[in-house]
Amino acid sequence: MRAANNLTLPRALHPGAWWLWALGLAVAASRTRNPVLLILILVIAGFVVAARRTDAPWANSYVAFLKLGLVVIAVRVVLQALLSTRSQGNTILFTLPLIPLPAWATGVKLGGEVTAEALLTALYDGLQLAVMLCCIGAANALASPRRLLKSLPGALYEMGVACVVALTFAPQLVTDARRIRAARRLRGRTSGSFRTTAMPVLEGALDRSVELAAAMDSRGYGRTAQVPRNQRRITGASVLLGLLGIALGVYSLLTDAMSFPVAAAALAVGLLLAVGAMTVGHQRVARTRYRPDPWALPEWLVTLSGAIAAGTMIVAANRGVEGLVLAGPLVVPPVPLVPVLGLLVGLAPAIVAPPLTRRRELVPA
């Protein structure tokens, strides 16, 4: 018997594909307040992260975003309980002590009767925001920010350096927190105050981000070539207008602020301006790429899975499919079949993404 390498060599998926997939799930979560669909999106993101995460320091950031989502839900429910009014429902659960407020705060109450309708509405709203945060956390856990910087177009390179430094802050928080907890356990300290734990974590994450910025600057990141001033101004204006058009089109599609043809036209014009400006602005950055990340069939499949999940939810919301928005807080959440099938496509990256470790198999000699 002899060992032979599998023909499929392991490689890391393009980080842009992971971000597009995660943003697709976040868009899908923004179109519904049905807790069944929101929990399904959360499970899909967690399953893909568990199946395709690496041993990198940022791979554990999904748990941190999950905890942050729980905090968001708790804060939303507590604030709703303190500030809710009787007009939000008639099913009284309990009564809090009513705190008197000055005359200028007329119409605002602090405490008093808390209804089940108000708490459930706050729970569903907080769950929606928490799931969107977890989708971003999934992208942070799966995509390397440094590799993402290599793939940015030249027109966005300076902005990309700043974004990469910012994106590394959250993963470094998780890494430093684990390191500090391990150090405290080795010293026989099982508990500690917030000050003794939080300050070293924040300081370490900030130091690492600053070191990353200094290392990138010393290696020439962000250095631009000499181009005419008019070309720089036109490129910058085109990028700005393109991004504004994309933001306006996406916002209109998500919130129905404009009709579908107008929103689609704004999105298309924004994409054309942005792509054209980035193509021209690429001449500003005089750099080469060592072993650039490929964009092959797995990247297209991962991106397509996120787009299908988002597109299914958008189309279902525009056509008024029942189940995306509950008829009332106390109604049992239904399970709409078409949105569920569209969301299940988001599980595809767990299968189609390249393997992360080199597989070896025994073949006859």
Residue range 216-247, pLDDT digits in tens: 667 666 555 566 667 667 766 777 777 777 77
Do 58 and 116 touch, CB atoms closer than 8 A? no
pLDDT of residue 342: 92
Do 69 and 133 touch, CB atoms closer than 8 A? yes
Do 77 and 122 touch, CB atoms closer than 8 A? yes
DSSP type of residue 292 = P
> What residue has token string 């297209």?
300
pLDDT under 50 in the chain at which residues? Answer: 1-8, 358-365
CA distances from 350 to 2, 44, 97, 153, 318 (A): 30, 9, 50, 28, 29
Which residues make Cβ contacts (< 8 Å) with residue 176, sequence separation at least 6?
200, 201, 204, 205, 208
Instruction: Give domain limits for the chain.
Output: 2-143+300-359, 227-284
Instruction: List helix spans (H) across 53-115.
Output: 61-83
How far apart are the C-alpha atoms of 61 and 45, rounded to whole Å? 13
CA distances from 230 to 224, 226, 227, 266, 313 (A): 15, 12, 9, 26, 43
pLDDT of residue 300: 92
Give the gyration radius of the chain's Cα atoms.
Answer: 24
How far apart are the C-alpha atoms of 295 and 147, rounded to whole Å? 13
pLDDT of residue 1: 35
Do 172 and 204 touch, CB atoms closer than 8 A? yes
Tell me the per-residue pLDDT of 238-289, one tens digit each, with 9 for 90 and over: 777 777 777 777 777 666 666 767 777 777 887 787 777 666 665 555 555 6
Give the chain's length: 365
- Provide the greatest CA pair distance for the chain: 89
Do 131 and 41 touch, CB atoms closer than 8 A? yes
Q: From 310, 241, 239, 246, select the one nearest 280 (Cα to Cα).
A: 239
